[in-house]
Structures are given as structure tokens and as C-alpha cells.
Structure 1
Amino acid sequence: MNATRTGRDQRVARCTYYLESEVDPEQAAAALAGEQSSGTFVPVPGETPRIRERHAARVVDVRRLGRGGPSLPSRTHPDQVTRAVATIEFPMENFGTDLATLQTTVAGNLFELGGLFACRLEDIDLPEDFITAHRGPAFGITGTRRLMGGVEGVMVGTIVKPNVGLSEDEFRTAVRELARSSIDLIKDDELMTDPAYLPLAKRVAVATEEIRAAEQITGHPTMYAFNITGDLAGLRRRHDEVVEAGGRCVMLNVPIMGLPAVAWLREFSAVPIHGHRAGLAGVMRSPALGMSYRVWQRLARLAGADHLHVSGLGSKFYERDEEVAANVRSLLEPLGDTLGPVPTLSSGQNVSTPAPTFAATGSTDLLMLAGGGVAGHPDGPAAGVRSLRTAWRAAVDGVPLQQAARDAATGGDPALLHAVHGLEGGA
């Protein structure tokens, strides 16, 4: 079905949903639109023509996909439901330029509807007025590269491991070794916030001291993403602790803290915001519920995240490689005049993943976080960093990994060759 539109089209959020329903999908889409606005098709008391015109969400299109069993439980248990893709427009009049109200409108109570046996927000096109109301990332790809000393190609990073439990001395040793490897970024694990045994303030003091000392040796500035996730009242204090000590990046668990927290941090942050996605799979993993990465990243980047995790090709996580590549490409797409955030690869990244990653994305505007690929290198973290950079150059140049490893070893740097042998030995 198609609905006639008016001049209001330029000020609507156009959303694409996957739906399953026992009733006709047109009726299900209308119920969703009505639940999330003033009411659609079926007038309610007090719903005047003026209110409907200005505030009612409208079903623009419904495309049937066939029949099958229901994906989600509900009060009823039909054997078969109709699957469909529905496009619904929500007037900006209802949510203004507020991210939280937008999210409540397009991805809020609609998931509760008992008549829907699947409901997933697959895509969203936002009105220009909404996009321009948000500044987006303050640093993005270009600003991050600048703070890393103008690094070219893929940015290489790692995570302090073990992720929790390190004493101050153990933490110092780990950061010292990593910083002296000429790595681009070191980050806290998402689980490491402000524990009593190694508080954020102490980590900031130790890490910045070791990074400064390492830069005197290597000449390479390393960025540390300090995890400032925690109580909202203390967010600015934790940010200030990092910046006043000379830190160059803060990290926030975006799904846990919420978009408004990111937007507030963006208002005063003097350094890039490293956006972790811990918890996102809870609203993204099911193909029948929640929202797609494509939708989430648009909202997170408007809120102001400078880096956003995308998972990784060949990772231990659930997303297939083609899905991860689509995540990367979605971040590299323009969104109004906002800066592009850094797509951040993680989970199981090593010298074998640059080639398929570059083949799938065609970009080096990426940050690769490699834990074992750096700290687990048989010759130490510095060799791990060199091996990853060599593997990425080979991927861009179309040189097979084994050949690149032999060529580098012949030239005097066996780091990549040893990394490849390490992978083969662990296979």
C-alpha cells in the first residue's frame, strides 16, 4: 500500500521496520503508527483533524514477504504469521530535535505490542533539520589521526589485559610496554571503570606518565582511551580528571550510558569520545527485535561519538563478516555535515584479518584493536604492532600475506613472519 504525502515530507523521520503479524500487515503497521503518535486511521476522542494532520504517523508502504511461524512469544500463539516490511513516517513536530524523544518515538513502546510477533527497526532517514541540530563528532577520523601524530593508514590499538584485577605496578608495566611499541591507541576494557583497587584517577596518572616517557623514546604520540563509564553525576568530574592529567581520549559504554549521556559529554569534552558498544547486542542480535547497527550508529554519531565499535571480521562475536563490513561502510557514509567517526574493529583481530577487511570495506580509515595480535606476539608488543602495520600495507597493495611476511623478513624485520607462524602453530 502507498499513502499520498504532503509537503510535510521534509520534516519526518522515515523508518523501515520488519514486522510479523497475525492480522494483515497493513493493519499491523497502522497499529504501530497509532501507538507511537496520535493515532492512525481509527480516530480516538479528542483526535481532531488538526492533530491528525500535524502529529499522526503515517504508513507509507507495506511490502509482504510471505508466511511463517512467529519469531517472538506473545499472549496468543498463532501457527502462522505474515511477514512484511513497513515504511512509516513520524512527524518531527512530535520529537523536535531531541535524541531521547526520537528514540522513544521510533524504537520505544512499539516493541511491546502483543499483535506483533516481530518488530525490528531496520533503517531510518532523518530530516535535515534534525541532523543539523546535532554537532556530531568533534574530532572524528581526521582529528583522531592528528592527535596520534598524523598517523597514516589503519590506526593500530590494543586493550590492557588482563581486563580487570591488575595492581598499580602490574598496570604500569603493561602500559609501559605497550606505549613503547609505538602503538596508536591503548584502551581500558569496557569492564574497567573506577574500581577501588585501581581507581580511574590512579590509572590516568600512571598511564599518562608512562606514555609521556615512551614518547621521549619513540617520538610517537599514543592515545589512551580511559573508560569514564559510571554514574551520570560524576561524568564531568571523570572527564576532567583525564584531561587535566594530559589524557587524549575518554571512553564511554554508549548503550549502557545512553545517547543523552553521550550528547552531554560531547558538550564539554576536550578530547575524542571512544564509543564502546557493550550491551548493544541485547537490542540488535535478534533479527526479529530491536534495531539494526545502521540505525544505532546514526544516532550515536549524532550524539557525538568520535569512535564506534563495529565488531571485527573473523571475530569471536556473532555477526557474520558481511554484517561487520556493512557496519563499517555505514559509518563511512556521510550524515549531513557531521564528521565521520572512526570505525573500530575488535575481537580476534590479527595479521590474518587485514586482507579480508580491506577487500570488504575498501578503506583504511579504521582503528584495529588487537589484543593477542599485539601483546601475544612472540617477539613482544612492538613486533606485534609492526606485524599488523606490515599486514595492512600488504592488504592495500594486494600482496599475499605469506609473501609479504617473507619479503619483510628478507628486509630485516621478521615480525610479520613470526606472527604468521604463530597463527599456524595455534591452528
Structure 2
Amino acid sequence: MVSTRIEVDYLLETHGEVQRVAEFMAGEQSSGTFVAIPGETPELKERVAAQVTRLEILDHAVEGPSLPTRVKVESEARFKRAFITLSWPLDTLGPSLPNLLATIAGNLFELGSVTGLRLLDIRLPDAFAAAYPGPQFGVQGTRRLAGVEARPIIGTIIKPSVGLGPDETASLVNELCSAGIDFIKDDELQSDGPACPFHLRVEKVMRVIDTHAQRSGKKVMFAFNLTGDLDQMRRRHDTLLKHGATCMMASLNSVGLVGMIELARFGQLPIHAHRNGWGYLSRHPMLGWSYTAWQKIWRLAGADHMHVNGIGNKFAEEDSSCLASARACLAPMFTEKPCVVMPVFSSAQAPRSAPATYQGLGSTDLIVTAGGGILAHPKGAAAGVEAMQQAWQAAVAGVPLDDFARTRPNLRHALEMAA
């Protein structure tokens, strides 16, 4: 049976009566308001009102609110937490991603009776799959363009993040192509600054990539950061097509949902979606989004690659959370339109990260981008690329890294450097 309802799971904290607060949330985000109104008839509510379809009160309360509220709370009040599911008929808003966000992640976060709210998961009717493109390339299209099968795509980031001009960037790309890299990306801080104009960077980098491709038969994928307003992104996308590029990158929180939807509609290249700013949406455990829910919005909008952080990263996220995010990217969203995307592991990635990443994900369908993990190798970038490739060979084969490194000096040097 085809579902015609939108279902969203939340973790709620409140000092009020949980059932009443959940029902208030449902009314606030559909047909109701803070007082009864004559126009909200039973027939109207049947057609468009949200419902509370699950309520599971957790068996412990907390003494203080997770988030501040101006609502007066009795000093002896206990703050209860519960898992709740709200369900909206599709007729409430239709298959519209921008209006979906306003409905499921709008004023709910501001309600005075809510002292904690985290959006955990979303389940959407098939009408959304019909209305939006989803990833045009995903895992298989990315592998085809990168010329990499049956193993992870090994990549790096141009470092320093900013400061290199077009010629210096092209020189580093030449070194990385010679080393056998699969994938290179701009840093998210580098787009079209005066020191490294986008069109010149693309022209010079693609000249290097094409030269290596003619010699080796393999075209390295470079994700050029075209983040900007819509007209800028259109022009930059056309520049990429002109020079034969095979990937474009956009910062999700910078271009916004409509920007991503439009980029996917006019774009003819895989979209490497960077999640910079994710921390302000997620870092407090009782506020914001889970990655499981958040990444579904962007996958449906058209992203082909999604950043998920990395094992042993430099940020605040636990390894288990990073791996759960990556598994979510590979989990189908719809029966007829899976919308599967390639997870991208980044942040302090190095050969030591490979075994735990593979064991936790259980797949080689990923991009791993190691900046210092490749470029800082004591024997140079070529040795860094080889060490990463060998680390993943060992991980997939189930051979301990230190044993595998005994006859592979570049891997051994990388492991010693990280010790």
C-alpha cells in the first residue's frame, strides 16, 4: 500500500503533560493555533490536521530544562522526555521540500512548553520521489566517472585551504595525479576569491587533469566549489562543462535548500555536498536534527555525495555517530527510487582510519578525503596516496595494518608518523 502520510520522529522534552504538549505540537504545525477557532471544523481536521501516532515516555526525568524558556515553571517541576511521532496527511502541504521544512522543523523549536526537541527521522510518501530529482549520479555514476570500482575512492583536499593561486593549485594537482589519486576537492573556504578566481582555477586544473588522463586513461575527479548565488552557480557550472570537469561542490547550508534543488535541476555533473555548519544544527543533544533525518532532505534535493565526518576526526562527533551517518546515506529512501548517495569521510583521515571505517560501514562505497593524511606523508604526496590505498587493501582483506606494512615502506612510514 502506497503511503500518503508524512511521518516524523522527535525526541521531546517538556515540563508539561506530554500527551497534551504533543497534541499541541500537532495542532500548531497543521490546522490549529493557540486557541480554538470556528473554522477548524472536524471535516477540515480530518483532511489536513497532524496526528500524534506514537508517544513513548522515557523512564527518567531531568531536574532542569535543556533549553531556556520564558514560560514560568514551578520550582519542583521535573522535565520529562519522550519519543513521539507526528503524522501529516500529504494534503496538508503537498510534495514540497521547502514547505516540508516549515512544517516539520519550523515553530516547533520555539514553543515555550518545549524545553528540548530533536528531529530524529523522516518518512515521506512516494509523491516526494516523483516531485524531486534525487541524486542523478550517486554511487554508480560517481564510480563510472572516477574510473574506480570495487574499492573506496581515495581523495584529498587542496591545502592550504586558501592562499594558493590557480598556477600553484594546478601544480599540486599535477603532483597528486602523478601519485595516482582518484579524487581531489576544493576546500569549502575556496570558491571564487580574488587570489584564486574560479574560472582560472578550473582552466588550469583541468588542463593538468586532461594531460594525465590522456597518458594514463584515468581522469581524476575534481570537485570544484561553485558555492554562490544561483546566477553565479549557473555560470560556474557552465565553466565546468566547458573545460570537461566531472564534479561540482556546494556548501549545503550556504546555498540553502532551494539553491540545491535548482543546482540539481540544471546541473549535469555529480554534486559533492559539503555539510559545513552542521554543528550548529546538531551539537546539542536536545536540539536540532539527527543526521539520519537531515541527509534525507538533501539526497532528495539532488546531492550525490554527502559528508559524514570521519573516524578519529578533529571535531566533537563520536565515531559511532559518523558510521551511523554513513550507513544512512547508503540506505534506500523509496522502493522505486532509492536515492542512495556516496558517503564522504573527511577530517583527520589517515591510513589508521581504514580498518575501523570498513568494519563499521561494511562497504567500500565511500569517498575518503585525507588532507594531511596524504599531503603530510614524510616521503611526499605520492607515498601518501599509496599508503592510503594499501591501508584500504589491508582493511578489506582483514589483515592488521602493522602486519601489512612490514613489506610496504610507505604504509609503514605513515603508521609511524601517526603513532
Q: Given the two structures, how large is their TM-score scaled by the length of structure 1?
A: 0.93
1:26 equivalent in structure 2:
19
2:328 equivalent in structure 1:
330
Contact kept, 8 Å, 2:257 with 2:301, in 1: the verdict is yes
Identify which of 225, 228, 245 aligns with 1:227: 225
Structure-to-structure mapping, 1:11-410, within 5 angstroms: 11-39=4-32, 43-65=36-58, 66-68=60-62, 69-76=64-71, 78=73, 80-336=78-334, 337-407=337-407, 409=408
Partner deviation per Cα, 1:289-316 (whole Å, 9 max, x = no partner): 1111000111110001000000001101
Paired with 1:241 and 1:278, the residues of 2 have a C-alpha distance of 24
Paired with 2:49 and 2:157, the residues of 1 have a C-alpha distance of 47
Letter in 1 for 2:316: Y
Q: 1:67 to 1:392 in 2, by over 3 A?
A: same
Q: 1:216 to 1:380 in 2, by over 3 A?
A: farther
Q: 1:88 to 1:339 in 2, by over 3 A?
A: closer
Local SS of the residue matching 2:351: coil
2:415 equivalent in structure 1:
420
Paired with 1:344 and 1:77, the residues of 2 have a C-alpha distance of 45
Paired with 1:168 and 1:138, the residues of 2 have a C-alpha distance of 29
- Measured after TM superposition, the shift of residue 354 of structure 1 is 0.6
Local SS of the residue matching 1:311: coil
Structure 1 segments, 4+ long, off by >3 Å, are: 40-43, 76-79, 216-219
- Measured after TM superposition, the shift of residue 151 of structure 1 is 3.6
Local SS of the residue matching 2:364: coil
Paired with 1:215 and 1:90, the residues of 2 have a C-alpha distance of 51
Q: Which 10-residue stretch deviates more, 77-86 or 384-393?
A: 77-86
Contact kept, 8 Å, 2:167 with 2:204, in 1: the verdict is no
Gaps of 5+ in 1: 1-6
Identity %: 44
- Measured after TM superposition, the shift of residue 285 of structure 1 is 1.4
Local SS of the residue matching 2:147: coil
Letter in 1 for 2:65: P
Paired with 1:167 and 1:10, the residues of 2 have a C-alpha distance of 52
Paired with 1:421 and 1:152, the residues of 2 have a C-alpha distance of 28
Paired with 2:351 and 2:215, the residues of 1 have a C-alpha distance of 26
Q: 1:315 to 1:346 in 2, by over 3 A?
A: same
- Measured after TM superposition, the shift of residue 423 of structure 1 is 1.5
Aligned length: 412
Local SS of the residue matching 1:52: helix
Gaps of 5+ in 2: none
- Measured after TM superposition, the shift of residue 132 of structure 1 is 3.2
Q: Which 10-residue stretch deviates more, 211-220 or 183-192?
A: 211-220
Q: 1:40 to 1:87 in 2, by over 3 A?
A: farther
- Measured after TM superposition, the shift of residue 172 of structure 1 is 2.3
Q: 1:352 to 1:150 in 2, by over 3 A?
A: closer
Partner deviation per Cα, 1:269-300 (whole Å, 9 max, x = no partner): 11100000011221111111111100011111
Paired with 1:45 and 1:27, the residues of 2 have a C-alpha distance of 21
- Measured after TM superposition, the shift of residue 264 of structure 1 is 0.9
- Measured after TM superposition, the shift of residue 39 of structure 1 is 1.9
Q: Which 10-residue stretch deviates more, 345-354 or 170-179?
A: 170-179
- Measured after TM superposition, the shift of residue 77 of structure 1 is 5.8
Contact kept, 8 Å, 2:185 with 2:224, in 1: the verdict is yes
Paired with 2:231 and 2:241, the residues of 1 have a C-alpha distance of 18
Partner deviation per Cα, 1:120-167 (whole Å, 9 max, x = no partner): 111111112223332210000100010012443010111000011112
Paired with 1:315 and 1:14, the residues of 2 have a C-alpha distance of 33
- Measured after TM superposition, the shift of residue 45 of structure 1 is 2.3
Partner deviation per Cα, 1:244-279 (whole Å, 9 max, x = no partner): 111111001012211221111111211100000011
Partner deviation per Cα, 1:201-230 (whole Å, 9 max, x = no partner): 111111101111222344321011010111
Partner deviation per Cα, 1:61-114 (whole Å, 9 max, x = no partner): 211113112100110364531111111101211221111011111011111111
Letter in 2 for 1:377: H
Q: Which 10-residue stretch deviates more, 304-313 or 160-169?
A: 160-169
- Measured after TM superposition, the shift of residue 234 of structure 1 is 1.9
Local SS of the residue matching 2:316: coil
- Measured after TM superposition, the shift of residue 41 of structure 1 is 11
Local SS of the residue matching 1:169: helix
Paired with 1:246 and 1:303, the residues of 2 have a C-alpha distance of 24
Contact kept, 8 Å, 2:166 with 2:197, in 1: the verdict is no
Local SS of the residue matching 2:3: helix
Paired with 2:117 and 2:260, the residues of 1 have a C-alpha distance of 26
Paired with 2:148 and 2:188, the residues of 1 have a C-alpha distance of 27
